[in-house]
């Protein structure tokens, strides 16, 4: 495993690493994480032998599942993890210089505005470093740094696999929900897909931080490729459970858009990322959304577009410190 040097961290992390981070850890008091997964195994979905009933149960009861036989070459997954560590190990100032448009490079938060500014609540800071890859713009880009450009090519190939998986999974979910394929065609738009590459730096003993605090994703769903360090935890069945890393598997996590599309039949699951004391955590997450101006109709919520949802989430973070999410779009019929 590639050793990370201190010069690779944004100054924020080196300045804060020797003291307790000023973050809101209230969510950790919901319930201690349950380490024994034998009684509550995360649902396993085999894409080559897709069982629609089992898929539906996973989405209703868990809001996520582990995907196997997904067709993404194990060699590609390994290459991406290795190249990601190599890229993050570059010095902070050099990364700032090369990670330019159409890429975004930021830290301390995973939330950004339409204009690209970082959104941080007054209560929390995320112990995470992020590179944002907009897949639709990568093929027209070429980077002078050879490592970054080779990584771009890997992201393009990986992105094609992710779009294939997203399309296959959404079609299966639509069948389960008996959605009209014509009316819901724009509910998943491959053109919106992007990949975020995350590093959660290790943190010193005696310090506390969340790589990402408790949240739900705003997407239709996301597809996670995490390294063997772990740290992802999901809140399900009234307890927090760790999502154990298993090589050559992917984690599919339903988001707010899928919950609305399903009339609340499927869950947008709460999750968080715990920082490791000994090792940096590396993960790649593919997110996909509806067409931004497509109106989502649901008996549970007033009609809204993803653009409206995103803009409201920005206002929520700026005013109350967190995304209110779907609760802010509840229709009068659903409330009464």
Report the chain's C-alpha Rg in angstroms. Answer: 19
Residues 231-266 pLDDT 10s: 999 999 889 999 999 999 999 999 999 999 999 999
Cα separation, 10 vs 92, whole angstroms: 6
pTM (2 d.p.): 0.90
Cα separation, 93 vs 95, whole angstroms: 5
* Half-sphere exposure in the Cβ direction for 145 (13 Å, CA): 14
Total of domains in the chain: 1
Run means of pLDDT, 10 residues per run, the chain, 336 residues:
72 62 43 53 95 97 97 96 96 96 89 50 75 93 95 97 98 96 92 95 80 93 95 92 94 97 96 92 97 94 94 85 89 53
In a domain, 250, yes or no: yes
Beta-strand ranges (E) seen in the chain are 44-46, 64-68, 104-107, 111-112, 118-119, 129-134, 189-200, 210-215, 221-226, 232-236, 239-242, 250-254, 271-274, 281-289, 295-296, 304-305
Q: Where are the alpha helices (DSSP H) in 255-328?
A: 256-261, 306-319
Helix axes 74-88, 146-177, angle to 10 degrees: 130
Q: What is the CATH number of the domain that holds 146?
A: 2.60.120.330
At 323 the pLDDT is: 87
In a domain, 1, yes or no: no
CB 216 within 8 A of CB 279: no
Cα separation, 174 vs 185, whole angstroms: 10
At 203 the pLDDT is: 84
SS3 115: coil
Domain of 55? 6-335
Cα separation, 161 vs 64, whole angstroms: 19
What is the number of other CB atoms lying within 10 angstroms of the CB of residue 118? Answer: 14
Q: Which of 193, 229, 225 is nearest to 211 (CA)?
A: 229
Share of the chain above pLDDT 70, in %: 85
Exposure string over 160-170, b if 16+ CB within 10 A, otherwise e: ebbbebbeebb
At 33 the pLDDT is: 60
In a domain, 157, yes or no: yes
In a domain, 134, yes or no: yes
At 288 the pLDDT is: 97
At 112 the pLDDT is: 57
SS3 55: helix
At 187 the pLDDT is: 97
At 113 the pLDDT is: 46
CA distances for 324 relative to 106, 248, 327, angstroms = 23, 34, 6
> What is the secondary structure of 72-113 as a DSSP string?
--HHHHHHHHHHHHHHHTS-HHHHHHH--TT-EEEES-SEE-
């Amino acid at each position: 495993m590639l050793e990370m040097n201190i010069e690779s961290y944004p100054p924020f992390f080196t300045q804060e690493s020797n003291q307790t981070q000023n973050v809101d850890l209230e969510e950790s008091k919901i319930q201690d994480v349950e380490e024994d997964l034998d009684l509550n195994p995360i649902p396993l979905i085999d894409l080559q032998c897709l069982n629609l009933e089992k898929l539906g149960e996973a989405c209703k009861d868990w809001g996520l599942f582990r995907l196997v036989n997904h067709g993404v070459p194990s060699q590609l997954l390994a290459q991406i993890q290795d190249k990601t560590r190599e890229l993050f190990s570059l010095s902070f100032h050099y990364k700032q210089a090369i990670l330019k448009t159409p890429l975004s490079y930021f830290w301390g938060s995973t939330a950004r505005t339409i204009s690209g500014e970082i959104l941080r609540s007054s209560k929390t800071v995320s112990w995470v470093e992020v590179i944002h890859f907009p897949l639709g713009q990568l093929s027209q880009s070429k980077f002078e740094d050879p490592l970054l450009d080779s990584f771009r090519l890997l992201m393009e190939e990986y992105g094609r696999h992710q779009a294939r998986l997203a399309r296959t999974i959404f079609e299966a979910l639509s069948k389960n929900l008996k959605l009209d394929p014509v009316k819901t065609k724009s509910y998943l738009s491959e053109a919106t897909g992007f990949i975020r590459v995350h590093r959660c730096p290790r943190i010193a003993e005696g310090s506390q931080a969340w790589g990402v605090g408790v949240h739900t994703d705003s997407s239709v769903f996301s597809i996670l490729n995490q390294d063997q360090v772990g740290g992802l935890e999901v809140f399900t069945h009234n307890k927090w459970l760790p999502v154990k890393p298993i090589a050559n598997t992917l984690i599919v996590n339903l988001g707010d858009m899928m919950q609305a599309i399903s009339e609340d039949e499927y869950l947008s699951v709460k999750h968080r990322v715990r920082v490791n004391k000994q090792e940096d955590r590396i993960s790649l997450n593919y997110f996909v959304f509806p067409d931004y101006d497509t109106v989502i109709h649901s008996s549970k919520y007033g009609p809204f577009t993803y653009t409206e949802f995103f803009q409201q989430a920005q206002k929520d973070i700026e005013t109350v410190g967190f995304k209110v999410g779907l609760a802010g779009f509840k229709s009068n019929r659903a409330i009464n």
